[in-house]
Each structure stands twice: as C-alpha cells, then as structure tokens.
C-alpha cells in the first residue's frame, strides 16, 4: 500500500489559513483605526466649529449689549429733553405779567429813545424817558398802542431838556394794560 504523507499539505494549509486570518485581522484593525481616526477628526472639527460659533455669538451678544446700553442712554436723554421741553412749554404758556410787558416795552422802544421810569399801579402804567426829538416819542407811542399789552397811550409831559450838552426831549406818558385779569371776589355759596 502506498502511503501518502499529507501532513506537510495540512501544515501548509494551516499556515496559509493563519496568514489569511492575520491579514484579515490586520486589515480589520487598520479599518477600525482609520474609522476611529476619521470619527475623531470629524468630532474635533464639529467641536472647533461649535466653539467658533459660540465665540462669534458671544461677540455679537457683547455688541448688542453695547447697542442696548446706547439705546437706553438715548432713551434717557430723550426723556430728559422731553421733560425740559415740557417745562419750557409751560414757561412759555405762563409767560405773562411783568416779563412779557417789559419784553413788549423793549421791542417797542426805537433807537435814540431811553426809558428812565416805569411804574405800574393796577391797570395804569406810567412811563418816562428821554428822546432826541418828538418824532421818536410819537413812534414809541404808536408802537405801544399797536402792541398786545398796552392801550390808551397818552402823552402827559413833553419838555425840552439838556442831556450832556445835547438838546433832548424829556417825556412822560400813561397807558392802560390790556387783558389784565382782575381778581374777582369768590361767589357766595348758595344757602340751603
């Protein structure tokens, strides 16, 4: 009988199978490492992108906080200006009495005419002064008569005087205040 030695073939097949298994193991380990490295790089890229997004958002938030602060300052300034304008409006509405009358008097006074006396007694006003000529006095009287504050302008005295070596006219006139509100006594309460 013939004997065939199959042992070396089995051994060589085992070695071949072992080499294939080692190659498969190596390729598998290599694929796992490449996949793991790929996932790691991908995760790091996402983390970096998220950190950049957070930094950009924080920067934008700081800018917006600055703008909000500026807007709040502007609102405060606007409120202050509004309050001041309201006060000015109230002052303008309440601008009556001597201030308004003196402003009207100043606006009505022509050049080269000087007021030396101003006195109020109820509705009656007495004004005295010096002018270079009678035409200036007449212009002054017309201006007062045309104003919103004075009426019934009458010349009381006009006489020649010497002021610092220059001949001038000293005058005195009277007028009545327009629209001066007289205080009325309170009405008696009705009896029951």
Note the pLDDT tens digit of each residue in 134-184. 999 999 999 999 988 889 999 999 999 988 888 999 999 999 988 765 444
Confidence of residue 5 (pLDDT cuts 50, 70, 90): low
- In angstroms, the CA 12 to CA 8 distance is 6
Q: What is the arithmetic mean of pLDDT over 127-137?
A: 92
- The residue that leads in pLDDT, 3 or 151, is 151
Pairing, β 150-163 against β 124-131: unpaired
b/e per residue, 4-21, with b = 16+ CB within 10 A?
eeeeeeeeeeeeeeeeee
What pLDDT is attached to residue 77? Answer: 92
| Torsion, CA 140, CA 146, CA 149, CA 154, rounded to 10 | 50
- In angstroms, the CA 132 to CA 140 distance is 12
- The residue that leads in pLDDT, 18 or 192, is 18
Q: What is the arithmetic mean of pLDDT over 44-58?
A: 95
Q: Which top CATH class is 98-177? A: alpha beta
- Asked whether residue 24 carries a pLDDT value surpassing 80, the answer given is yes
- Asked whether residue 10 carries a pLDDT value surpassing 50, the answer given is yes
What pLDDT is attached to residue 177? Answer: 87
- Asked whether residue 16 carries a pLDDT value surpassing 70, the answer given is yes
Q: Which two tokens stand for residue 104?
A: 């009207």
pLDDT digits (tens, 9 = 90+) for 71-82: 899 999 999 999
Question: Which of these, 137, 167, 143, lies nearest to 155 by C-alpha position?
Answer: 137
Task: Work out the mean pLDDT of the chain and round it to a whole number.
Answer: 86
- In angstroms, the CA 23 to CA 27 distance is 6
Query: How long a stretch of residues is the chain?
Result: 192
What pLDDT is attached to residue 190? Answer: 57
Percent of the chain exceeding pLDDT 90 equals: 53
């Amino acid at each position: 009988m013939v004997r065939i030695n199959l042992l070396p073939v089995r051994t060589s097949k085992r070695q071949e199978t072992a080499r294939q298994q080692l190659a498969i193991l190596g390729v598998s380990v290599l694929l796992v490492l490449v996949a793991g490295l790929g996932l790691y790089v991908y995760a790091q890229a996402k983390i970096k992108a998220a950190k950049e997004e957070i930094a950009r958002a924080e920067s934008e938030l700081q800018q917006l906080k600055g703008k909000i602060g500026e807007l709040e300052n502007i609102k405060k300034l606007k409120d202050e200006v509004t309050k001041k304008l309201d006060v000015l409006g109230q002052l303008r509405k309440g601008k009556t009495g001597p201030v308004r009358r003196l402003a009207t008097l100043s606006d009505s006074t022509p050049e080269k005419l000087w007021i030396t006396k101003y006195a109020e007694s109820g509705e009656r006003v007495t004004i005295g002064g010096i002018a270079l000529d009678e035409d200036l006095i007449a212009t002054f009287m017309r201006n007062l008569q045309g104003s919103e504050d004075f009426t019934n302008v009458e010349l009381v005295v006009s006489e020649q005087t010497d002021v610092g070596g220059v001949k001038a006219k000293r005058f005195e006139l009277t007028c009545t205040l327009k629209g001066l509100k007289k205080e009325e006594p309170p009405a008696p309460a009705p009896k029951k």
